[in-house]
Structure 1
């Protein structure tokens, strides 16, 4: 029988229920950057301090690990890691999936191997698979109070260096009514691992943007 595969928050510990082997040890240490990651024989889970989730990068890595491997999360772990959707954001996740499907169907070039087209399409397929996995995450009525990190489908309220403000959505394809940032671009990755209040560089000579708020 397949062992339980999940991430739970129990008190001040993150418990990652996943098969014990050398490859998983190496991957989880890389994702969590944890020096206290240990295998608990009694609970059959990897254990580390919940303070690891104070790092947005670690949260992002564990969310990716959970989505790629199909791990379930209890509601406490989901809230701590930003691995949840809300009644509002889940509709944006579904909209992105549909937009990716349309893009894959319509954007067919005569020579799909030219100019990295196949790599681009593979990136879209991987993004779609991750989004479908995210639909299995806990659904909250709204963002938990005090949550300062991004979750799938969130809106980023940002200010640029020149004072202009904008509301951005991380999406791999255009969605009507939203200004999007691609998750494949460095600024998209930076936003997805950012905290409210972070200032993120846009690239050489382009200044920065500051995350004012993250909302449903």
Structure 2
């Protein structure tokens, strides 16, 4: 009998709020993203020395993933075979603009390696993988809008082919002052059916 998969937990970051499984973990009156995400990371005791050096997209994706993976209570004595499938609309555009600003003027030409390293959206996957010691499959998709069907199909393929035991999926989009993260973990255990309709419902919740 073919195994069924479930969504065991999910996290939202939007409008200066961080929630896990629909329950608020942190909320702030601070509208500006950098100040909000710093306060959120301190409140949630995010322990990663490189966090404050990341670009905005990576900070948001990292924090949402950290909330979900910490809730999963992964064993620390073995490698966790967790794949990562993330997506967004703006790619790394917010960081691309900042890097372009550093090289656009001939008289003030000062390219920043620390900014340049984040001019690919999938860099956030690397930060998540380093923190949680993940060595499985990963991919970053660019869609016009959140595509639950695509993420569901790829997650099911990875699980059924046994290329991963669990899959961390979601949408992490950052463009200037507009930001949104929705991360969820798919595995055998859980109470929420892993289906496109359920993914869409949780995304909109």
Same fold (TM over 0.5): no
TM-score range, shorter chain: under 0.3
TM-score of the two chains, using structure 1 as the length reference: 0.24
Q: Could you state the TM-score of these two structures normalised by the residue count of structure 2?
A: 0.25
